[in-house]
Every structure is written in structure tokens, then in C-alpha cells.
Structure 1
Amino acid sequence: MNKEYKEYLESLLNWGEKLKQTVQDSELLDDEKMHTLKQVEKWQGNIYELLDQEEADANPERMLDLRAEGENLIQEIQGSSNRESVPYGKHKLPPLPYAYNALEPYISEQIMRLHHTKHHQSYVDGLNKAEEALYTGKKGKDPIKHWLREQAFNGSGHYLHTIFWHNMTPNSKKKPSGEILKQIKKDFGSWNSFKKLFTDAAESVEGNGWAALLWSPRSGKLAIQSFEKHQLFQLPDTIPLLVLDVWEHAYYLQHQNDKASYIKDWWNVVNWDNVNERFNKAKKLKWQLF
């Protein structure tokens, strides 16, 4: 391995250690600290993998990616420390919690890079534009109905993608465990019954849309729903726990028109720890059952 390349990677690792200490000393809530520390450690893990590859050649693009990931982590920490809300029109693209190539071979680096930096970014930009029009008086000559539709489409796209990235991991346990597994068995009968129903829902999406596992505080049960585009056919007063993007841009470069193959691969990268975390927080919200 090139000496300068190795020294640069080691400098990033040292930067990561300082970043973890900054997190420990911050005023973030304990669960936020835990989440952020895990993100930094995953980032460092990617660097260690490169250092272990003694024969690896210097890859300028990969080094830039690693540095950008570290800078995004700093922005995320600063944002969490200093803000209680996102000002209208100031949403930002969240960093991926892993490298662009981390989900291979199930989801390719090319798809992840395009999906995150182009498609998700476009929804962030669209949401910001809609919010500026609706809440800061910049709507121009367009009717309010136009901007409400833009807010619904782009806002749903931004929020669903943010869930989607964290719903996946290169270290998937393949099957759920803990509280979410108990609830799945209670509501669907078995893990296999749930998996088949969710898969069928994803395959049933015509054109662009999503499949989602939801928690319903109104029924005290889990539900499965497909969305058209990002915002149509959603169930109000429910909380998404696990979402699967089945727009063609999520898989076409790798699977072409074989959506079923993409869905089958996706089950190998589901982050059940994240789903469990979302479920444990969601089920605390209880409404009168109807």
C-alpha cells in the first residue's frame, strides 16, 4: 500500500477518535450519543478494512468519499446539538450510515450513489422550495394547491428515503428478533407469513411506490401498506417502521425490470436493530383504540 495513502487513512482514524470524544462531551441525549458513536465506528470500520488490504492501490474517489462521510457526521452532530427544529426551506440531505459500496452485492455502489446523491437530493430541494413558497411568502404566481402538492410529494420522498437508508445495513441479521419479532408473530402469525405478505405488497406496486410496515396507535397492531409515488394511499395516524423503495431507480441499473429479484436481495440487508428501535419508540404512543 502506498505510504501516503496509508498515512492519510490513519489520519482519518485519528480524526474519528477526536470526533467520538467530542460526541461524548456534547450535550446530546444518551440515545443520540449512542446512535452517533455507532455511525462514527462504522465509518472507522470502513477505513480499517482498507488498511487491512495491504495490496490496495490508492483510490482518490474512495478517499474523498471517506472524508465526505466524516464531514457529514460532523454536520449531523452539530445540527443535533444546535437545533430543535429544521427551519422552513432548510432541509439537508442526510448522510448515509455506511459507505456507498457497503450493501454490495445485494445493492450496487452505482445505484446507492445515484439514488442518494441525485434522487434523494432532488426531494430535499423540492421540499425546501415548497416550504419557502408556503411559509416564507415566495410562492409567486403559482396557486397554493400546487405548493401543497409539491410539499406532499417531495416531503414524503425525503422522509421515506431517510427511513429507508437507516432501515438497511451491511451487517444484517437477516431475521428480526426482540420486540418487533414478538409483535410480528402476534399480528401475522409467523415471520414467514409476514415476509410473504410484505413481499407481495412490494411486488404489487404498479409503477412508482413503496411497501411499508406500519405501527397503528389506533389499533395497537402492525399493518402493511403500499404507497403510490411517495404520498398516495398512506394511512394517516400510523408510524412507518420498515420501508422498501420499489421505484425503478432503486434497482433498474442492477436488476433491470426484475423487481422480484431486487426485493429478494433487499431482505439480506434489512437493519432489524433499526426497525426494533423505531418500534420500541412508536409503541409508546397510544391512542384510544377504535
Structure 2
Amino acid sequence: MFRTSLRTLSKSANRAAPSFTRTKISLPELDWDFGALEPYISGQINELHYTKHHQTYVNGYNQASEKLAEAESKNDVKAAVALQQNIKFHGGGYLNHCLFWKNLSPANKDGGAIPGDSSELSKQIAQQYGSYDKLISLTNAKLAGVQGSGWAFIVKNKENGAIEVVQTYNQDTVPTAYVPLVAIDAWEHAYYLQYKNVKADYFKAIWNVINWKEAERRYLAN
């Protein structure tokens, strides 16, 4: 699986100035082959999305982190501040895509399968929205409302346990007040090769490969 980015503080016995070591992040391992989500998401899209776009965020974050470590070692506050947006963008792209891959599954496995009525996730959705279909319709409306590039997330509100739908732009992550349950990429690179400019068809199709078991696991774990 992928390795998370860490900052490790090491001090010498004479308490010299601290030095910082960052371990690099890498692509997560996928639970399925590139073509396993067809016909809903093509193997070509998954391969390009994973090996090119997600890899770009990994590389960008690692490079920006190295430059930040150098700036901090020189006490170059101006350079450190200038790097923050780069770290936010690429770090967000990395995290969002890790969520995205994990909440997809082939249709002949867990993809599209709704948890039973007795599941805690199903109970909460029924209480708030009446059905999964209504929650999906709301999420698709949020996705359609993304102007340019962004994401829609089904989330759990940490304060009251409510299930909500939030929209973010570019590679912004969900606010810390929420636990992401389902992440759907609305960037053109997620669908254009297959669906061209009819992104609404992609938004409808992707629910056939959404892994609701993973969404429920996240719901119960947080």
C-alpha cells in the first residue's frame, strides 16, 4: 500500500539544531486490474488516470516537500510560504485519488451493490434521504455543478453523524469536520476519453462500480 508522508525529528545527544527527514509518498496498489471496471470506466482511462495523472501528484508533492525541507533548513520563510500552494494542490490530488481508487470495485464483485437495510449506513441514508437513489441524484447534481475541475464527496459529519454531500474545486480535500465516504472525480481526465463532453453519462455510470462496502467501512470506523 502507499506510504504516508512523515516528518521525523532527530536530535543529537548535545541537542544540536533539529534535522528533518521526509519519507516520500508513492502510488497506492489497486485492488483490481485497469480493465476490471469496464464497460463503465474503460481500462485505457484507468491506466492513464493512475499511471499519469495520479503519478503527477505523487511526483509534485515529493518535489515540493524536498524544496520545503531545503527552505526550512535555510530559514527561508519566503520560499517556504511560496511552496505551500504547490504542496496543497499535489498533496490533495494524491489523497483524493487514493480515496477514489479504493471506493471503486468491479460490477461482478462489490461494485454497485447496496448494503442491506440492516446496515448502519443504509439506516442513516434511509432516515435522511429516503433511499440511495435520492442520495445519488443529489450527488450527481453536485457533480454537474462543478465548473471546471473538482470533486464531489459523500461525507459523514463528525459532529452529528449526518451524511452530507460536499463539492470541492481543483484538488481541495474535504474539510476536517467531515469523513469522506465516497469520492468522485469530476476532472475531465476521469471520463473524457470515453464519455467525451457528456459528463452526465459518466456520473450516472460510475455508480455501477462504487464500492458501498468501503463507504460503510469508513462510516463505521470514524
**TM-score above 0.5, yes or no:** yes
Sort the TM-score into its range (normalised by shorter chain). Answer: 0.7 to 0.9
- Larger Rg: 1 or 2? 1
Match of 1:194 in 2: 135
Aligned amino acid, residue 157 of structure 1: G
The count of corresponding residues between Structure 1 and Structure 2 is 202
Cα displacement string for residues 68-114 of structure 1 (whole angstroms, at most 9, x for unaligned residues): xxxxxxxx3xx78xx99586250001121100100011100110000
Moved over 6 A (4+): 138-142
Give the aligned CA root-mean-square deviation in angstroms: 2.4
1:148 aligns with 2:84: yes
SS in 2 for 1:223: strand
Contact persistence 2:155–2:164 (CA under 8 A): yes
Match of 1:210 in 2: 151
1:182 aligns with 2:123: yes
Match of 1:130 in 2: 64
Match of 1:10 in 2: none
Aligned counterparts of 1:214 and 1:243: Cα–Cα separation in 2: 9
Cα displacement string for residues 102-135 of structure 1 (whole angstroms, at most 9, x for unaligned residues): 0011100110000000000000111111222223
- Which structure ranks higher in relative contact order (CA pairs < 8 Å, sequence separation ≥ 6)? 2
SS in 2 for 1:227: strand
Contact persistence 1:169–1:271 (CA under 8 A): yes
Match of 1:114 in 2: 48
Unaligned runs of at least 5 residues, structure 1: 1-75, 283-290
Q: What TM-score do you get using the length of structure 2 for normalisation?
A: 0.83
Match of 1:274 in 2: 214
Structure whose residues are more often strand by fraction: 2
**Aligned equivalent of 2:181, options 225, 241, 262:** 241
Aligned counterparts of 2:103 and 2:113: Cα–Cα separation in 1: 12
| Closer/same/farther in 2, CA of residues 106 and 148 from structure 1, 3 Å limit | same
Structure whose residues are more often helix by fraction: 1
Q: What TM-score do you get using the length of structure 1 for normalisation?
A: 0.64
Aligned amino acid, residue 137 of structure 2: K
Aligned amino acid, residue 276 of structure 1: E
SS in 2 for 1:102: helix
| Closer/same/farther in 2, CA of residues 122 and 273 from structure 1, 3 Å limit | same
Match of 1:220 in 2: 161
Contact persistence 1:89–1:130 (CA under 8 A): no
Aligned counterparts of 1:88 and 1:239: Cα–Cα separation in 2: 26
Counterparts of 1:1-290 in structure 2 under 5 Å?
76=1, 88-137=22-71, 143-170=79-106, 171=109, 172-177=111-116, 178-231=119-172, 234-282=174-222
